Amino acid sequence: MSEDLRFAERIAVVTGAASGIGRTVAHHFAERGARVVGVDLMDQVEEVMAELPGSGHRGIRKDLTSPDAASQVMQVVQEEAGTPHILVNSAGIALLDPATEVPAERWQATIDVNLSASFYMAQAAGRLMLEAGYGRIINLASQAAVVGLDQHAAYCASKAAIVGLTRVLSLEWARRGVTVNAVSPTVVETPLGLKAWAGEKGERAKAQIPVGRFAQPEEVAALIAFLASDQAAMITGENVLIDGGFTSV
């Protein structure tokens, strides 16, 4: 394995780390030597982090939609591990409704989890990274950030906002050693993704993707790891699509 894509002595904070893409990302970094702090609302986050390769990993159960939660998480990270080098904002939800039927509470929940929580975490981590003069922040957006999807009004809005936020943070922080990028996958074959896109619905969706399949969690994790590496120091403010050509059609 290239030394440039190893993360020994690096501290990586991953949100949504108890399941799905976040769990795969946490494992990917741990396997390559990073000390991982996983944050999730699910109780099993501590158990999941304890099962990662290596040692020194930590699970924190926290509702990141609270404005104070991110600073509390970063205080724990700094006290127990040190200044974080990497933040991956992977926590997210998808609540689907026709645009005319979106309840206010489901709209607000989507914005709170997908956008606000990511901002609070980036803000809290960014303060520490800027002081240290180094940092890598990767925000999970979606192909839904750049195309319209049926019944995805709240989701598309939240992910498009993530891309806009990423560009602002990258502009403000680039000269102080902190890069900020977004990653936008198509449907990813996590357990939840496989369930949501099973059967004929999934086959129709795959047929619209030029490569003819959905993305694998490890493919997304590998892209995130590259953006978190020193090899990607010149890449910031980008929204990197990993969608098998879907948005190019």
Quote the distance between the C-alpha of residue 88 and its chain's center: 5
Say what the pTM is.
0.95
The mean per-residue pLDDT over the stretch 25-50 comes to: 97
Contacts of 151 (CB under 8 A, 6+ apart): 96, 97, 98, 99
State pLDDT tens for residues 83-114. 999 999 999 999 999 999 999 999 999 999 99
Q: Does the pLDDT at position 1 exceed 50?
A: no
| Residue 134 annotated among the catalytic residues of the structure | no
From the candidates 29, 119, 120, 155, give the one annotated as an active-site residue. 155
Judge whether 49 and 26 are in contact, CB under 8 Å: yes
Q: Output the pLDDT for position 88.
A: 98
Q: What is the mean pLDDT of the chain?
A: 95
- Quick one: pLDDT band at residue 191, thresholds 50, 70, 90? confident
Specify the amino acid at residue 233: A
- Domain annotation for the chain: domains and CATH numbers: 3-188+216-241 (3.40.50.720)
Q: Output the pLDDT for position 173.
A: 98
Quote the distance between the C-alpha of residue 24 and its chain's center: 11
